[in-house]
Amino acid sequence: MSVQLDMIVTVYEPLAGDVWIIDLERHDGAALPEFEAGAHVDLFIGPEMVRPYSLCNSPAERHRYQFGILKDPISRGGSDLICTQWGVGMPVRASFPRNLFPLKEDAAHSILIGGGIGITPLIAMAHRLAALGRSFELHYCVRDQGKAAFQTKIADSIFAANARVHFSAERRFCLADDVGHPLDNQTHLYVCGPTGFMEQVIDDAYASGWGESQVHSEQFTAETDLTGAPFTVQLADGKSFEVPGGRSIASCLIDAGYDIEISCEQGICGTCIADVLEGLPDHRDHYLTEDERNSNQLITMCCSRSLSKTLILDFQ
């Protein structure tokens, strides 16, 4: 298991739209590890429950990590527990920050588009770009005023003049109309939010002439399909385990006593990647690149399965 930080909740406040703003500071008051814009932290919420949450404060801050967390009735339990059972003074364990959604800081112009709670990593990006004096714009897309949890935070920020709020109840956000075509190949677009929202923005971007290398996204949730025929996983130490339909490789190995670090359990974060020594993976993740999938040398153990009867893996 990776090194963890002993934290304490110092701010725990409800915002609009069932969103809570939560600040964590180090228990001993020491400075926190630096983080990059777009980074997330794994929060240890309960026994065997670890969830990743994006940091939404300025990367220049070293005294706190700030999160915006949506109380979602259809979540897998982590966000609901945080928004109903946490409070100021509560001790919390957290991982060091990791960045799977990096910002290209030297871009000529950056366009940040957040749908709902997906705005959180983009707020951190906006802080960073403003501090660097870079050209950028921030678009916050929500259903209506009642769901605009971060509207005041954005309006009071140093980048307020760069930001626009879009209410889909009045008019749906349209990339072509609200952003337009890319100025050049040095303009970069970042999008985060619900799957359908992101897919629409990305499809519109490609239709408007954006290149694949200019479009960046981070997915918060994804459906996990564990159905399929059983298969055998053989480890580099020689031990073998059966993985039945409906269960993940990671869960089977954890039950067998192996220390497998998992986080999202949806193939989004890349925490549980293992090397494939032999066999053909059935890739069901949203993390690996097409080249990585085609090489069949890596597998995300929380969601992917096997097209061959046996997979030989090494995760040490």
**Tell me, what CATH number does 270's domain have?**
3.10.20.30
Looking at the structure, do residues 113 and 209 belong to the same domain, yes or no?
yes
Looking at the structure, do residues 188 and 289 belong to the same domain, yes or no?
no
Total domains in the chain come to 3
Out of 66, 95, 124, a domain closes at 95
- Check residue 1 and give its pLDDT: 45
User: Nearest CA to 302 among 257, 254, 242?
Assistant: 254
Whose structure tokens read 């399965």? 305
Find the domain containing 84 and state its range: 4-95
- Check residue 133 and give its pLDDT: 98
User: Nearest CA to 149 among 22, 299, 273?
Assistant: 22
Out of 188, 219, 250, a domain closes at 219
Quick: pLDDT tens for 49-69.
788 899 999 999 999 999 999
pLDDT < 70 regions, the chain = 1-3, 47-48, 73-76, 220-224, 316
- Using a 10 angstrom Cβ sphere, with 0-12 exposed, 13-18 middle and 19 or more buried, the burial of residue 267 is buried
Cα 123–Cα 129–Cα 135 angle in degrees, nearest 5: 115
Are the beta carbons of 141 and 113 closer than 8 angstroms? yes
pTM, whole model, 2 decimals?
A: 0.77
Looking at the structure, do residues 128 and 215 belong to the same domain, yes or no?
yes
Quick: pLDDT tens for 91-121.
999 999 989 899 999 999 999 999 999 999 9
- Using a 10 angstrom Cβ sphere, with 0-12 exposed, 13-18 middle and 19 or more buried, the burial of residue 261 is middle
| Rounded-to-integer distance, Cα 305 and Cα 173, Å | 37
| Rounded-to-integer distance, Cα 161 and Cα 304, Å | 44
- Check residue 51 and give its pLDDT: 84
